[in-house]
Amino acid sequence: KSDRELVTWFQKYVQGFFELGTDLRNGLALISFVETVSGVPMPHCNDPTTIEQCHRNCTIALMGLYRLFENLQVEITADDLVYGNVDKIRALLDTLASDEWVIEVNPPNSPPIRVPFDPTTCDLTTYDVSSVLMIQCAIRRYTDSQVLQKLQRKYEHRKKVLTELKETEEIYVGNLEVLMNLYYEPLAWKAKLAAKSKSKTEPILDENELAQIFGNVAAIRECNKNLLNELSTRLERIEHTTAIGDVFVQFVPYFRIYTQYYNNYEASSVLLDKLRDERQIFRDFLAACIELPESRNQPLESLLINPVQRLPRYILLLKELYGNTHVEHPDFSSLGEAILQVQKLANTLNKKIQKSQAANEVILIQNKLVGDDVPNIVSPSRFYITEGTIKEVNLDRKQGKDYTKIYAFLFNDILLVSKKVMHNVYRYRYVIKLAKPTRIKDITNLGVLTNAFTIV
């Protein structure tokens, strides 16, 4: 380009234009510079008023710079321009000012070019640089628009996920407040009043029953109120650079209080069902609570399961957010770390709750057994695996045609054999202790019977 045009640009944006800082941040100054040097118009917003418009202008300006100056060794992003990263902007301007750049452009009136072509030669028409540049600009404009549209779609989806994360956290903390204010605190007050009273008034639930049903939900409520405060501050205004991954990394150690709740949850559910079946006063209390507007029409068991469901919900939302976050975004690495840590904790807690469920199943099976010599099968190290109907065959009988239907309960260390009497009632017969490891041998010579085995 002619020196006159560059001087004109310099006078407009450096000497005579007092809003250079603003026009650097909204991309207009750099877009004008690229257009002045290349002579090619670039798609942009002439009057950017939003962060999104400024971000789009800066992205286009940087694409133009890197294509115009192929050896430009400055790492700078659109976010650096929009949010005024002084060090990065100064490095870019210093590089453009200090180096001597050569841009080779053939003059529009250059003579025809002759090149060899097989045995003959051919004349090429005049090389019209402006036409080629316009074609290149159109192609690049389309490519850039596709990139920008993809980035914009990801940003919009990211904004949607962040909004959902905040809103669901507000609902979750609200449910914890209902659980404490509507259910726990009135029951706890009645229990303390009955304990201090000289009369023999029975509480709805005593203090031990309260502790077993509600666990440490009060501590969980305080933890998540703090998390909600952090998220509300970060997400008050969602922008391109909004980050929340570090918040979850910070809170993972506090999420460990969920361990106690997970360990207690299965026993809590069993006790809740038992007390509701046995105590009319407790049923009346629950019915009265569900009628109140502040209950949000949620029964006690629905509120109690919320903490068990919350950590898996975090993982789903964080993964969706991570999938719509660019690798150069300041939240990218923190989100990845947050997902790993929350997933690890959730896996540990799920194993604990599965073990707790299996241990509580032993108690339930104990209560289903009848007979004069029923042993106590409840043990801290014993857990339930599976159950079902099988056929007990006397191997001394020919072809195994003589068999007895039995109902077996398999645990980690014993096989309990019983006879089903009626629904949820089983007559105890005997127990087989299982060795470590237990060996099973297939039996294939029983004629009509298949899938036969014996415990070695």
3-class SS of residue 87: helix
Rank 50-59, 240-249, 263-272 by mean pLDDT and report only the highest: 240-249
Instruction: Tell whether the model's pLDDT for residue 138 goes beyond 70.
Output: no
Mean pLDDT of 320-340: 91
Please tell me whether residues 339 and 379 are part of one structural domain.
Answer: no
Instruction: Tell whether the model's pLDDT for residue 447 goes beyond 70.
Output: no
**Whole-number pLDDT of residue 139:** 57
48: in domain: yes
Please tell me whether residues 238 and 265 are part of one structural domain.
Answer: yes
343: in domain: yes
Q: pLDDT tens across 67-100, in order?
A: 777 777 788 888 888 877 878 887 887 777 665 5
**CATH number (domain holding residue 405):** 2.30.29.30
Domain boundary among 77, 104, 131: 104
**Whole-number pLDDT of residue 123:** 40
Strands 425-433 and 369-370: parallel
* Nearest-angstrom CA–CA distance, 414 and 187: 41
Please tell me whether residues 95 and 210 are part of one structural domain.
Answer: no
Q: pLDDT tens across 215-225, in order?
A: 999 999 999 99
Q: Which residue has the higher pLDDT, 164 or 203?
A: 164
Mean pLDDT of 239-247: 91
| pTM beyond 0.75 | no
Instruction: Tell whether the model's pLDDT for residue 18 goes beyond 50.
Output: no
Please tell me whether residues 441 and 326 are part of one structural domain.
Answer: no
**Whole-number pLDDT of residue 198:** 60
Please tell me whether residues 206 and 283 are part of one structural domain.
Answer: yes
- What range does the domain containing 335 cover? 156-365
Please tell me whether residues 335 and 449 are part of one structural domain.
Answer: no
Task: Output the CA torsion 387→391→395→398 (10° steps).
Answer: -170
**Whole-number pLDDT of residue 141:** 58
Domain boundary among 342, 365, 388: 365
Q: What does the mean pLDDT of the chain come to? A: 81
**CATH number (domain holding residue 324):** 1.20.900.10
Q: pLDDT tens across 363-398, in order?
A: 889 989 998 889 999 887 888 889 999 888 776 655
Burial 111-132 (b: 16+ CB within 10 A, else e): eeeeeeeeeeeeeeeeeeeeee
Number of domains forming the structure of the chain: 3
Domain boundary among 104, 122, 138: 104
**Stretch among 173-182, 243-252, 290-299 having the lowest mean pLDDT:** 290-299
